[in-house]
Amino acid sequence: EAQVTQNPRYLITVTGKKLTVTCSQNMNHEYMSWYRQDPGLGLRQIYYSMNVEVTDKGDVPEGYKVSRKEKRNFPLILESPSPNQTSLYFCASRSPGGGPGETQYFGPGTRLLVL
């Protein structure tokens, strides 16, 4: 089954304690990205990756890091989490090109609370 998986699904942490949210896709997609979803703000892109070892900032990259060492994995790293990073995070992947068939597939989400 084609899917994007994220772990953990729920996480409560404290300010300053480094954490990593993993993302993995089994569709051999080149493009992957991370979004955060906040009430009243919709989805905002944090980082994206066009392929292995190719990453770039999205709209709200501050406080986040990513890496793309393998095609299937795209972890999101919070080196020093702060309460304003409390949010719902989504990983997504798609294959390149355009058109409706190249839709983005979203993971189930990771709900993060930073105390």
Q: Which residues bind other proteins (CB under 8 A)?
A: 4, 31, 33, 40-43, 45, 48, 50, 56, 58-59, 90, 92, 94, 96, 98-100, 102-104, 106-109
Q: Which is nearer to other proteins, 31 or 64 (CB)?
A: 31
Sheet of 4-7: strands edge to edge? 4-7, 19-25, 76-78, 65-66
Q: Which C-beta is closer to other proteins: that of 15 or that of 54? A: 54
Q: Taking the complex as a whole, how short is the minimal distance between the CB of residue 80 and other proteins, in angstroms? A: 25
Which residue is it, tokens 């020093």? 80
CB 92 within 8 A of CB 110: no
The smaller minimum CB distance to other proteins, of residues 4 and 78, is found at 4
Tokens of 86: 């409390």
Query: Cβ of residue 18: shortest distance to other proteins, in angstroms?
Result: 25
Closer Cβ to other proteins, 67 or 104, answer by number: 104
Query: Please, are residues 38 and 83 in contact by the beta-carbon 8 Å criterion?
Result: no
In the complex, the smallest distance separating the C-beta of residue 12 from other proteins, rounded to whole angstroms, is: 17
Tokens read off for 8: 């953990």
Residues 106 and 37 sit within 8 Å (Cβ to Cβ): no
